[in-house]
């Protein structure tokens, strides 16, 4: 189960309350401004101007708790620095490849761990990743013309963005990569694939099995298949029982439960 729901909140032009002094408060002010928000440093003023979020960075725990209670009572969502038990939301460590944003969060357990993961990802992701996203956005009309249905478009794009694919996002792409892919032979995977579980641990899935689940249009699983395995499938993939009729196109993944001895 997710300990919290990750969301991307649009702040451009919106008032955001930031209370406190010192390095932590300044970091929150910079974060709000980086997202286009307007920093308000007075709680009452922020409430009056329609703020929906409040960052509280007091060193004194009593003052932080009191302001958190006041802000929450006014209907705001509250983040209290270094006090996850007082938070309605936490702020992740960000990898910025505009418009691609990758957020790494630990639910307030360890900001240091989130930062270390973010720095590792920074080295892995090419600087041109945002340009690839923009090119794919501009190509939506062309993709609709070539693949009329949503499932056809998704399968073609999944194949292109897969490891080693024409648009592999972990490779630096040429400026015309998307138009070249769209004009070329962009075959999309389809078919029925079987996964025989070796255990209830999703980490025991092979890379190929994990890719099938991530790209599936439909997942066929009986009651013995663990929820942790099903959580690796596309969120909008159809969930079917073994008795249900199978779709006649797309990627269908059949999962059989691990034997009792595993």
For the stretch 198-228, pLDDT in tens is 999 999 999 888 888 988 889 999 889 999 9
For all residues of the chain together, what is the average pLDDT?
Answer: 91
| DSSP β-bridge partners for residue 193 | 253
**Phi/psi class of residue 45: alpha, beta or left (left: φ > 0; alpha: ψ in -120 to 50)?**
alpha
- Reported as a pLDDT band with limits 50, 70 and 90, residue 3 is confident
What's the rounded Cα separation, in Å, for the pair 32 and 248?
A: 48
Q: Residue range 31-46: average pLDDT?
A: 96
Which pair of tokens denotes residue 54? 């409040």
> Which of these, 104, 109, 102, 103, lies nearest to 87 by C-alpha position?
109
**Model pTM?**
0.71
| Residue 104: CB atoms within 10 Å | 18
What's the rounded Cα separation, in Å, for the pair 101 and 177?
A: 21
| DSSP β-bridge partners for residue 112 | none
Residue 21 phi/psi, 5° resolution?
Answer: -130, 165
Q: Check: CB of residue 39 under 8 Å from CB of residue 18.
A: yes
- Reported as a pLDDT band with limits 50, 70 and 90, residue 48 is very high
> Which of these, 248, 142, 242, 135, lies nearest to 194 by C-alpha position?
242
Which pair of tokens denotes residue 24? 């932590």
Which pair of tokens denotes residue 252? 């269908």
Q: Residue range 167-181: average pLDDT?
A: 89
Burial 199-230 (b: 16+ CB within 10 A, else e): eeebeebeeebebbbebbbbbbbeeebbeebe
Q: Residue range 102-113: average pLDDT?
A: 90
What's the rounded Cα separation, in Å, for the pair 229 and 86?
A: 32
């Amino acid at each position: 189960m997710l300990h919290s729901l990750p969301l991307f909140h649009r702040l451009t032009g919106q008032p955001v309350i930031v209370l406190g002094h010192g390095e932590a408060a300044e970091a929150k002010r910079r974060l709000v401004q980086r997202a286009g928000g307007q920093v308000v440093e007075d709680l009452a003023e922020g409430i009056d101007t329609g703020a929906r979020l409040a960052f509280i960075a007091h060193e004194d725990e009593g003052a932080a708790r009191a302001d958190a209670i006041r802000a929450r009572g006014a209907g705001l969502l509250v983040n209290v620095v270094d006090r996850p038990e007082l938070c309605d939301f936490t702020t992740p460590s960000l990898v910025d490849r505009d418009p691609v944003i990758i957020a790494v969060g630990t639910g307030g357990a360890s900001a240091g761990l989130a930062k270390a993961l973010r720095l590792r990802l920074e080295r892995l992701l090419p600087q041109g990743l945002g340009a690839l996203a923009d090119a794919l956005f501009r190509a939506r009309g062309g993709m609709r013309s070539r693949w009329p249905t949503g499932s056809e478009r998704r399968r073609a794009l999944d194949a292109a963005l897969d490891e080693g694919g024409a648009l592999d996002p972990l490779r630096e792409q040429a400026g015309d990569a998307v138009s070249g892919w769209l004009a070329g032979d962009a075959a999309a995977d389809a078919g029925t694939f079987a996964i025989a579980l070796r255990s209830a641990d999703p980490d025991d899935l092979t890379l190929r099995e994990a890719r099938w689940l991530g790209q599936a249009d439909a997942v066929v699983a009986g009651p013995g298949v663990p929820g942790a395995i099903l959580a690796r499938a596309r969120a909008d993939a159809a969930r079917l029982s073994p008795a249900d009729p199978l779709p006649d196109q797309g990627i269908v993944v059949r999962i059989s439960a691990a034997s009792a001895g595993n």
